[in-house]
Amino acid sequence: MKTNDLINLVTIENRFIADNIQSILEEHEIYSLSQSDNPAASVISSYGLKPLECIEIKINALDYQRAIEILAETPYKEFIK
């Protein structure tokens, strides 16, 4: 496994929860990317609508086990595999 391999940590449908998960990871110096399957979601949400989307949170493969352990201690443990 290379140090720059990204893997999917979780896939969820709620942007608010995705942002909270990313904040928790960042507090522990695990940096992540979020990728939506709906490229227009940010524009649609600016009009006050809640677009349907699936958000993948991706992290470095080397941080995966640590991220799972961190999320297991949060209210978001139900989202981890």
- pLDDT tens by residue, 24-77: 999 999 999 998 887 766 666 666 666 678 999 999 999 999 999 999 999 999
Domain extent, residue 10, equals 6-79
Is residue 11 a part of any domain in this protein? yes
What's the confidence (pLDDT) of residue 41? Answer: 67
Is residue 31 a part of any domain in this protein? yes
Q: Which two tokens stand for residue 67?
A: 């991220």
CATH value at residue 36: 3.30.70
Is residue 67 a part of any domain in this protein? yes
Angle, to 10 degrees, between the axis of helix 64-71 and the axis of helix 15-27? Answer: 110
For 75, half-sphere exposure in the C-beta direction (CA atoms, 13 angstrom radius) is 3
Is residue 1 a part of any domain in this protein? no
Q: Which two tokens stand for residue 66?
A: 């640590």
Number of domains forming the structure of the chain: 1
Is residue 37 a part of any domain in this protein? yes
Is residue 49 a part of any domain in this protein? yes
**In terms of pTM, does the model score above 0.85?**
no
